[in-house]
Amino acid sequence: MAPKNNNFGNNFTDEIRNRLSIVDVVGRAVPLTRKGPNYWGCCPFHNEKTPSFSVNEDKGFYHCFGCGKHGDIFSFVMETQHMDFIQAMKELADMAGLKMPERNPRPADVVQRENALFQVCDMAATAYSEQLFTPDGAHALEYVRGRGFTDEMIKKYRIGYAPKNKFIATRFADTKKEYLIGSGLCRSGDYGLYDFFRDKLMFPIFNARGNIVAFSGRSLDGSEPKYINTADTEIFHKKQTVFGFNFARDAIYKNNRSIVVEGQIDAIKMQVNGFPETVAPLGTALTEDHIALLCKSNRNITFCFDGDKAGYKAAQRACGIVMPFLRDTSDVKFAFVSGGKDPDEIIKNGGVDAMQKIIDDAMPLVEFLWKITNENFVVSTPGGRVQAEKFLQAELEKIQDVDLRREMEKEYAGRKFNEWRKWKKTDDIVKIKLPDVDTLTRNTLVFIVNTYPELVERYGDFLATLNIDFGGNVVDLSMDQAQAEKYIVSLKLQRYLERLNIRKREITAQMLSGGDADELRAEMAGVDADIQKAQARLEALVNI
């Protein structure tokens, strides 16, 4: 249950409980079905197919009969969204339409200034929306409708048009100059205030609570850059703001993931065409702050970038940024639209089903990281492999979840062995065809290779001669690293003895067929000596 000693008083937490139904709160993340007095669904805290997660609306608590998780709306938000109590309280207060009491109230003048900036941005959005449907905004309206935007979409996202003249500076002449400049809408020049956005299709930028804090303006005459955004202000920080998050937040909970695309139009078109969990960075490279914001809602993220070189480069950068946020419950994937297109074009030309297939076929992070490693380094050479291994290790060291990092290291150790080493071996490395290993030996070696990657590095050349597929299911064996190394060395000696005995038989056959007796006897003596040494080493190893 939620902590009682929260410095806010029980009255406020009780007020939140009174205003919010636990069924509504839980139902944002878990599909619920009513059966008798309770609601039931699949537990969000452990994997299950048969619902054992019960929610009682009257008592205001949930309980899972599978894993034992139990709590109220506060504990549910804390655990599912990875928040502390204060963050969960703020989230629930927003849902309940309540204003959080402040433990350390900010100065009244700071709060007043922020509210004034919110108001200026909201009034500007209204004014821009009106201008879109005037003769001056006709070309902007034609453009946005040509991109497939309906009037309903235009209204929902409050899309507008900024005229070429000093529209805001003139329209809000009675507004304090410091607020117009502070909002980023106007700048001061030699001849007074002038508008920052001129002849632009305007997209309001909302913060997580739904307040308009800035704007993104798209050029309509083909000039570059395509988009310009409000510069950072007291209420807007571009690197910390995710476009469309205020609209997508509920869907991120319900669909158990977020989808990240490159641009605002792509995000909107995705949201209204069956992918409401879609968001976008604001014309800037993805940042750790963007990922942190998304991970507060859900650690499952599908990055969907344009199918061009810039999109692929952005995906590689996203892969590196997301690594510290990975947990064993994370499901991070990378999807790419083909032919240099973007999601908007795919939906327009191929329909929602085509876009759905792209999302469904997204590549898991473990595959994408392996792909870019092989593409960026020449792994067919020793030097290239060293560089690739250093890159992989550096990326894996970013993972804070120690158990997950260890498992991924094992995964890549197996791949490096199977794909970088084994396939390069040629028949002349092993002169003599030896019998295939038995099933028990194979299973033991598969366990060792997938459990102790350092042994793979040490004995990789020998293991590569055994013609074993080290993929597939791994049998769990009770064998520590010392025992595993002893097993490999023992097997290596046994194989060595097999080759020596084969060579001894070959020498005998050559002597019987009339070969050079003196030379063959000398070689036989050498083989016998090697056999004795190998047997002695094997016996010593067994006695350890």
Q: Would you say 355 and 270 are in contact if contact means Cβ atoms under 8 Å apart?
A: yes
Averaged pLDDT, groups of 10, the chain, 544 residues long: 45 81 87 87 88 88 90 92 86 81 74 93 97 96 94 96 94 94 94 94 92 94 87 92 91 90 92 96 82 84 89 92 89 86 89 94 96 92 90 93 90 88 44 55 81 76 74 73 87 87 87 81 88 84 67
Separation in Å, CA 443 to CA 422, 437, 453, 477: 18, 10, 16, 9
Contact 29, 69 (CB under 8 A): no
Name the token pair of 232. 């950072």
Whole-model pTM?
Answer: 0.66
pLDDT of residue 543: 65
Say how far apart CA 483 and CA 544 lie, in whole Å: 10
The matching CATH number, chosen from 3.40.1360.10, 3.40.50.720, 3.90.470.20, 3.40.640.10, for 241-372 is 3.40.1360.10
User: Residue 37, preceding bond cis, omega within 30 degrees?
Assistant: no
Architecture of the domain spanning 427-542: Orthogonal Bundle (1.10)
**H-helix or E-strand spanning residue 129:** helix 108-132
Query: Tell me, what amino acid is at 345?
Result: E
What was the pLDDT predicted at 408?
Answer: 93
- Residue 260: enclosing H or E segment and its boundaries? strand 258-260
Task: Report the distance separating Cα 101 and Cα 203, nearest Å.
Answer: 32
Radius of gyration of the chain (CA): 32
What residues pair up with 333 in beta bridges, in sequence order?
302, 364
What is the distance between the terminal CA atoms of the chain, rounded to a whole angstrom? 56
CA angle 280, 312, 286 (to 5 degrees): 35
Which residues does residue 364 pair with via DSSP β-bridges, in sequence order? Answer: 333
What CATH number was assigned to the domain covering residues 108-236? Answer: 3.90.980.10
Span 10-96 CATH architecture: Alpha-Beta Complex (3.90)
Task: Report the pLDDT value the prediction gives residue 5, as an integer from 0 to 100.
Answer: 40
Determine the Cα–Cα distance for residues 271 and 304; give it in Å rounded to an integer: 13
Question: What residue segments make up the domains of the chain, in order of their start?
Answer: 10-96, 108-236, 241-372, 427-542
Largest Cα–Cα distance in the chain?
A: 115
